[in-house]
Amino acid sequence: MIPEPLVESRQLGHWRIHAIQAGGQALDGGAMFGVVPKPLWERRIAPDARNRIQLGMRCLVIEHDIGPILIDNGAGNKEDAKFHDIYGVENAGEEGGTRLDDGLRSIGLRAEDIVLVIDTHLHFDHAGVNTRRDESGAIRPAFPKARYVVQEGEYHYATHTNERTAGSYFGHNFVPIAEAGLFDFVSGEREIVAGVRALPTPGHTPHHQSILIESAGERALFIADLAPTTAHLPLAWIMGYDVEPLVTLETKRRVLARAADEGWLVVFEHDAKTAWSTIVREGKGYQLSK
Ligand SMILES: [Zn+2]
């Protein structure tokens, strides 16, 4: 199933921001909720006959003063049919492209217009459209005029995999970007461009980053896999995919507290329904603002 709508837009301070739903993905519900028992998680997101839950692959475009910035870019279309079946990836767009292309077109943008691509991390469902295959079969940067930003540690981690981590990292999504000299690697917390800040949020991967956007006193957090869906707001609801789940726990404790106390708009990358919301404290955890 392809989650709808394709694009949701709103104002954040001076900037227009657009959440583009770059397709659907269906992953094992148990893996998505780690140690949380099925009787609890299936009340939040019901599984299909293969025990998979429906997810989205949401990306964010910021109409920044320097030009359009894209945060994450979905799974792309370089993988084969078996891969798409296993992970339930449904993201084919019109005109032979992907849903991301459709979404960009619907807000009046082409790939050539993007000036900056930010990768929260390099897993295939987040960085799959860093590159694309051209008509000759060659793999090329998908955004030819853009610089790309990722944490330097994440690039190292993605290129030095082990038996547990290799299934999530496909070199053709990021090695050609490095070889073309298009990556601007960052280390730790820093402002990438005015109002767009890399916030290290380790746990899912050791160098995973969330992106904090601030304009005219309004703030939004592209939280990525620190809380992939709104069902992951309770502190202990942590994915089995995370390589350091207890680090995720402490990162969530710290970041969700700031998000709630300072009224940040949280953008949920993998939620099939909810693009964004502010959050409030509830007992020992958090929930969406009513
Ligand atoms: Zn991931």
Q: How confident is the model at residue 35 (pLDDT cuts 50, 70, 90)?
A: very high
Q: Encode burial over 76-88: b for 16+ CB neighbours within 10 A, e otherwise.
A: bbbbeeeebeebb
Q: Tens digit of pLDDT for each residue in 47-94?
A: 999 999 999 999 999 999 999 999 999 999 999 999 999 999 999 999
DSSP state of 184: E
Tokens of 17: 């921001």
Q: Is the distance from CB of 161 to CB of 145 less than 8 angstroms?
A: no
Distance 121 CA to ligand 1 centre (A): 7
Distance 204 CA to ligand 1 centre (A): 7
Helices (H), 137-274: 152-158, 175-179, 245-261
Q: Tens digit of pLDDT for each residue in 184-243?
A: 999 999 999 999 999 999 999 999 999 999 999 999 999 999 999 999 999 999 999 999
Distance 123 CA to ligand 1 centre (A): 5
Calculate ∠ Cα 260-68-149, nearest 5°. 75
Q: Is the pLDDT of residue 284 over 90?
A: no
Which residues have a Cβ under 8 Å from the Cβ of 181 and sit 6 or more positions away? none
Residues within 5 A (CB) of ion ligand 1: 123, 225
Distance 243 CA to ligand 1 centre (A): 10
Q: Tens digit of pLDDT for each residue in 8-30?
A: 999 999 999 999 999 999 999 99
pTM of the predicted protein model: 0.97
The CA distance from 118 to 41, in Å, is 31
Distance 226 CA to ligand 1 centre (A): 9
Distance 14 CA to ligand 1 centre (A): 30
Q: Tens digit of pLDDT for each residue in 96-108?
A: 899 999 999 999 9
Which pLDDT score is estimated for 283? Answer: 86
